[in-house]
Amino acid sequence: MDYFKTTLKKYLDIPSPSSYTKLALEVAKEEFDSLGLETSYTKKGALIATIPGNSEAIAITAHMDTLGGMVKSITADGQLTYHRIGGGAWSAVEGENCQVFTRDGKVYRGSIIPTTASTHIHGLKSYEKRTEETMRVRLDEFVSNKVDVQQLGIQVGDIISMDTRTEFTDNGFIKTRYIDNKAAVAMTFVLAKKFIENKPEKTIHFILSNYEECGHGLSVIPSDTEELIAIDIAPVGDQQTSTEFAVSIAAKDKKTPYDYDFISRLAETAETHQIPYNIDVFNHYSSDASQYIHRGGDVRFACVGPGINGTHHYERTHMKSIEATIHLLYQYCLK
């Protein structure tokens, strides 16, 4: 679990909103290569790492891309408006510090604030609804107009990434932005190391996708894949069975029910090995697996993951949930 936390922090520190995942995936490729796995990229830029086996393959997918933003325009007073990349509420990013990445490699700091941020100036207007029209990136630079910003090299289409504010508490909680889905990425490396030490009979493909938050994460998977398991977050809240202290097995998301028999086998594995688990149904959610199936994929498919409080906001989970997810995947693949 120390290796998991170190790996999680490493990838959290590499900004990777959808479409801006190249660096993070290059680092992942180097890490898989160092473990001796066979690696390759898809044409769309997803990374595949393989532990060869003697029979049909299981593919385990996690998405490297996160939420973020893209510069929409530069205002007359030298601030930035932006489009959101992926989902999430405007209130989730208000007051957060961020980075802006230019196409010529510069990085600038800023903060996300509403146009009516000051209660001393705007009074009750400071509590107005947050929308794309009322939210801005306030740059930490000597700028006061559009030309000043352009001279920094900032332009429409530049990527914006929020600070993660990562914290590991002494009693096992993890608090950060982008547990979705950097925790899953870190889990793939834990599993890779465990499978190198105790090799399954089946071939294992690890797939790190790069557009899941935009709804088209997986486009292709290796042709020998018989079973596809997405590792993703399990929202914790009202009318959900998921908790921060167990692994969740998705029965259905907004796109489709998952493979009923596959879910049953995963649940049986959890029970056999006394792994704490829940089966859950998600209303506003999809995964690499269900997105791939929706594009016509022909494979048995499932989705498992740790229970996350405050998904697409300032997220939190517990190491017990991480451990349970890794344990379930490990035991299932060995079986």
Residue 242: exposed, middle, or buried by beta-carbon count in 10 A (0-12, 13-18, 19+)? Answer: buried
Instruction: Please give the residue range of the domain that contains residue 311.
Output: 2-66+178-334
User: Catalytic residue among 212, 213, 227, 323, which?
Assistant: 212
Residue 98 identity (one-letter amino acid):
C
Q: Would residue 289 count as lying in a domain? A: yes
* Same-domain check for residues 241 and 186: yes
Asked if 138 and 111 count as a contact pair (C-beta separation under 8 A), the reply is yes
Whether the link from the prior residue into 181 is cis, omega within 30° of 0, is yes
Same domain for 243 and 303, yes or no, is yes
**109 and 245 in a common domain:** no
Whether residue 135 is found in the same domain as residue 40: no
Domain boundary among 162, 192, 218: 162
- Residue ending a domain, among 162, 187, 206, is 162
Domain check: are 22 and 43 in the same one? yes
> Count of CB atoms within 10 A of residue 220's CB?
15
Residue 212 a catalytic site member: yes
List per-residue pLDDT tens for the chain, 335 residues long: 899 999 999 999 999 999 999 999 999 999 999 999 999 999 999 999 999 998 789 999 999 999 999 999 999 999 999 999 987 888 889 899 999 999 999 999 999 999 887 877 878 776 778 888 889 999 999 999 999 999 999 999 999 999 999 999 999 999 999 999 999 999 999 999 999 999 999 999 999 999 998 889 888 999 999 999 999 999 999 999 999 999 999 999 999 999 999 999 999 999 999 999 999 999 888 999 999 999 899 999 999 999 999 999 999 999 999 999 999 999 999 98
Same domain, 42 and 191: yes
CATH number at residue 25: 3.40.630.10
pTM of the model: 0.94
Task: Look up residue 95 and give its two tokens.
Answer: 């007051």
